[in-house]
Amino acid sequence: MGLMLSDSMINAKVGSEVGDFGRSYYFYLGVQVRLTFQDQVFTNFRELDLEHHAFRWVDIKRFRLFWPDADDVHLLAELIGHEQYRDDCAGGGVEAGGLRQGPYWLRNLSPTAYAHIDEAGAKTLLLGWERQCGPLPAALSGRLKCEVRPLVAEATGRYRLKDLGCEVFHDWGGVHTDFHELILIDRAAGTLSLLVTADD
């Protein structure tokens, strides 16, 4: 079961973060947590001969957990401190010293920016996004079923990025019509996946 987040839990955070070639270390309540980037899977609907692609894409970044017993708050904070999180999701790619993540300024993001979501809710969110322009071709649907569905079904903790409002957009944030971000923690597999679905 995923850990429910509260401001009191987040305010208990102490220490600092250091990034080092795709690896970061958080000293959080005296516990060192290590999260290492594993790989990335990117699916661009435009490359799959889809007439109504609506410029949509799915991006999955997977990380290996070296402290799988660390609670969800620690892991969310570790991810936010990781250089792979510093991605504007609009073609600019990862910037080690970047100040943006998705549509928001990085400074506005913390574990409290994420809300717990159950498996049914995550599936409904993703299916609604996938089918907004009608059913997908069998090949694309099968690819998403293989790459995305297991991450949601097997996760022991699921979190979605809240709608934080345009007040905290970065200087050109809001270019995506439909932006969804999920963090999927699988303790059995020792992995954390950052899943983004959007359009450009």
Q: Where are the domains of the chain?
A: 7-199
- Which band of pLDDT confidence, cut at 50, 70 and 90, is reported for residue 193? very high
Non-local CB neighbours of 93 within 8 Å, separated by 6+ positions = 87
| 3 state SS of 15 | coil
- Report DSSP state, residue 132: B
| 3 state SS of 145 | helix
Mean pLDDT for 28-57 is 71
31 has pLDDT over 70? no
Average pLDDT value over all residues in the chain: 78
pTM listed for this prediction: 0.79
Selection from 83, 68, 58 nearest residue 143 by Cα? 58
Query: DSSP secondary structure string, 55-105?
Result: TEEEEEEEEEES-TTS-HHHHHHHHHTSGGG-B-SSS--B-TT--EETTEE
Pick the more confident residue, 10 or 101.
Answer: 101
21 has pLDDT over 50? no
Residue type at position 105 = W
Between CA 183 and CA 194 the distance in angstroms is 5
Mean pLDDT for 174-197 is 89
Per-residue pLDDT tens digits for 99-124:
887 888 889 899 999 999 999 999 99
CATH 3.40.1000 fits 7-199, yes or no: yes
Give me 140's structure tokens: 């694309």
Between CA 32 and CA 150 the distance in angstroms is 29
